[in-house]
Amino acid sequence: MMARFSFTVSVLAVLASVGHAWLPSVDDHHAGARKLVDRNGFSLFNDTTFGHEKRWLPASGKIRGVNLGSLFVYEPWIASNTWTNTMQCTGSGYNSEFDCMTKLGAGTGDATFQKHWNTWVTAADFDEMISYGLNTVRIPLGYWMDEGIVYWDSEHFPRGGADVLRTVCGWASDRGMYIILDMHGAPGAQVAQNSFTGQFASSPGFYQDYQFNRATSFLSWLRRFVHDNNEMRNVGMIEVVNEPLQNQGSQTQYMRQTYYPAAYNAIRSTEQSLGITPNNYVHVQFMNTYWGSGNPQQYLSNNYFAAYDDHRYLKWSPDASDVSHAGYLRVSCHDNRSGPDSPTIVGEFSLSVPDNVQWNSDWAPSNNVAFYKQWFAAQVMSYETYAMGWVFWTWKSELGDYRWSYRDAVAAGVIPRDLNSIASSGACNGY
Ligand SMILES: *[C@@H]1O[C@H](CO)[C@@H](O)[C@H](O)[C@H]1NC(C)=O
Ligand SMILES: *[C@@H]1O[C@H](CO)[C@@H](O)[C@H](O)[C@H]1NC(C)=O
């Protein structure tokens, strides 16, 4: 890969500046906007192709990324071996970071999570991502990374994550990758009984003013942290909350009406107080209308540099009622996820299929490599054609199932090492 890097001393000078903020291929175009370049001055988002729709050329300007799942928000189902055997979060009722910290106590717990952070993703992972042509990481975060807003007497979370986030983002920035930070775990938990919130809450406690206020404090803190640390310079997007309730009831209505504008304003007012100019604002990202919480734009008075997140799991979608290989390809080959919200990134998707069929001979990963390869190609072709690109869930797992692990899928020959080969794969011929 090093041979692809073209050295120019003048471009290196650009690296000295801090605080990037734009969607690659869009704002690179604005006069005065900064370039997304790695430490060798190579731009993964090559703006010379923008406007020509050459989406399958190298450096096409489309997001091709992976989520760093289970790093800062541990999801035991993704890495149950480490959870049980290394971290000793074993036993019934230890379903989340909160539960694990309750069991281990602050001292042992902090050291245990520190060890996890230092081993789950390393600089070598980023080299591997670059070698596969990936240009983006999305990093799920919990609000507790801002230690000033945690109620330490009643909320049990590991301390010290921000320093590790800085290091991890430095690895991504050095390699010219675009970084999306997402508030994955919201104060009070945005959904019940799901470890992705960091806690296994019996009910979703997020939808009230004091929790919204803590969340906006977190976003202001995060925006300042991005500005203050050179390692964070390739952060271009901050998502205000991951996967809130999927209904249009009073709680989600109140969230869209109250929290969404407040979250947008918190990030913008932080930027203004830091003297950041509009060219260097981050994108503020919301789950899109398709997610099911309602129209994210309805109550925004300003959507300058707003962006939208689509999570596309056919596994759970009524759009894929024909659970067959052909049925899946028919949906994915024409899957326009842009909808009413633009720009949209497909920020999560996988190769997993419904629980009740996933180990049948028709769907088991070991006997269906050709299908999964074709389906991956179909998905990313649509997500690049209709949307701004894609971010796979997730980079690695301990499941032994490549349908949830990008690197395992590459190893299995399901995801090509050369993503540009997909355009001519014919994966959607006849669909
Ligand atoms: C962008 O792509 C063009 C054409 O492929 C190439 O000549 C140029 O060096 C690339 N620029 C960067 C910054 O990578
Ligand atoms: C995708 O859907 C959006 C919204 O319905 C529409 O505006 C857009 O033209 C569609 N894209 C294509 C390429 O058909």
pLDDT tens column, 87-139: 999 888 899 999 999 999 999 999 999 999 999 999 999 999 999 999 999 99
DSSP state of 225: H
pLDDT for 90: 87
- Mean pLDDT for 65-79 is 97
pLDDT for 325: 98
Give the model confidence (pLDDT) of 145-155 as tens digits: 999 999 999 99
pLDDT for 278: 82
What residues form DSSP beta bridges with 310?
A: 346
Query: Which ligand has an atom closest to residue 337 CA?
Result: 2
The reply to whether 430 falls in a domain is no
User: What residues have CB less than 8 Å from 329, skipping those under 6 apart?
Assistant: 374, 375, 378, 427, 428, 431
Using CB atoms within 10 A of its CB, is residue 312 exposed (0-12), middle (13-18) or buried (19+)?
buried
Structure tokens at 12: 């290196």
How far apart, in whole angstroms, are the C-alpha atoms of residue 19 and residue 91?
44
The DSSP element (H or E) to which 140 belongs, if any, is strand 136-142
What residues form DSSP beta bridges with 141?
A: 183
The reply to whether 431 falls in a domain is no
The reply to whether 291 falls in a domain is yes
* Residue 15 scores a pLDDT above 80: no
pLDDT for 159: 98
How far apart, in whole angstroms, are the C-alpha atoms of residue 174 and residue 235?
12
The reply to whether 164 falls in a domain is yes
Query: Which ligand has an atom closest to residue 420 CA?
Result: 1
Please identify, by atom number, the ligand 2 atom nearest to the C-alpha of residue 340: 4
Domain count, the chain: 1
Integer CA distances (angstroms), 139 to 121, 209, 213, 257, 299, in order: 11, 26, 22, 26, 27
* Residue 199 scores a pLDDT above 80: yes
Q: Measuring from atom 10 of ligand 1, which residue has the nearest CA? A: 46
How far apart, in whole angstroms, are the C-alpha atoms of residue 208 and residue 255?
8
CA of 62 to the centre of ligand 1 (A): 15
Q: Measuring from atom 7 of ligand 1, which residue has the nearest CA? A: 48
* Residue 246 scores a pLDDT above 70: yes
Question: Rounded mean pLDDT of the chain?
Answer: 89
- Mean pLDDT for 61-66 is 88
* Residue 204 scores a pLDDT above 90: yes
pLDDT for 64: 93
Give the model confidence (pLDDT) of 249-268 as tens digits: 999 999 999 999 999 999 99
C-beta 334 within 6 A of ligand 2: no
pLDDT for 342: 86
| Whole-prediction pTM | 0.90
Q: Which of the four pLDDT bands, split at 50, 70 and 90, describes residue 45?
A: low
SS (H, E, C) 284-305: EEEECHHHCCCCCCCCCCCCCC
Give the model confidence (pLDDT) of 362-380 as tens digits: 999 999 999 999 999 999 9
Q: Measuring from atom 4 of ligand 2, which residue has the nearest CA? A: 339
C-beta 336 within 6 A of ligand 2: yes
Classify 185 as helix, strand or coil.
Answer: strand
CATH number, domain containing residue 175 = 3.20.20.80
pLDDT for 393: 98
Q: Which of the four pLDDT bands, split at 50, 70 and 90, describes residue 19?
A: very low
How far apart, in whole angstroms, are the C-alpha atoms of residue 428 and residue 200?
41
Query: Which residues are part of the catalytic machinery?
Result: 243, 348
* Residue 59 scores a pLDDT above 70: no
| Domain range enclosing 46 | 2-424
pLDDT for 62: 83
Q: Measuring from atom 7 of ligand 2, which residue has the nearest CA? A: 339
* Residue 230 scores a pLDDT above 50: yes
How far apart, in whole angstroms, are the C-alpha atoms of residue 72 and residue 144?
10
The reply to whether 252 falls in a domain is yes
C-beta 386 within 6 A of ligand 2: yes
How far apart, in whole angstroms, are the C-alpha atoms of residue 416 and residue 1?
16
pLDDT for 277: 86
Residue, of 399 and 3, whose pLDDT is higher: 399
pLDDT for 11: 34
The reply to whether 166 falls in a domain is yes
Q: Which residues of 115-141 are buried (b: 16+ CB within 10 A; e: fewer)?
A: ebbeebbeeebbebbbebbbbbbbbbb
pLDDT for 176: 85
Integer CA distances (angstroms), 76 to 93, 199, 230, 306, 329, in order: 12, 11, 32, 32, 31
The reply to whether 47 falls in a domain is yes
C-beta 221 within 6 A of ligand 1: no
The reply to whether 249 falls in a domain is yes
Q: Which of the four pLDDT bands, split at 50, 70 and 90, describes residue 14?
A: very low
Q: Which of 276, 216, 233 is nearest to 14 (CA)?
A: 233
pLDDT for 46: 54
- The residue type found at 258 is T
The answer to whether 315 and 55 are in contact (CB under 8 A) is: no
* Residue 16 scores a pLDDT above 50: no
Q: Regarding beta strands 235-239 and 136-142, do their DSSP bridges make them parallel or antiparallel, or are they unpaired?
A: unpaired
Structure tokens at 407: 């690197």
CA of 4 to the centre of ligand 1 (A): 10
pLDDT for 367: 96
C-beta 339 within 6 A of ligand 2: yes
- Helices 123-131 and 161-174: angle between axes, nearest 10 degrees: 30
How far apart, in whole angstroms, are the C-alpha atoms of residue 288 and residue 345?
9
pLDDT for 43: 63
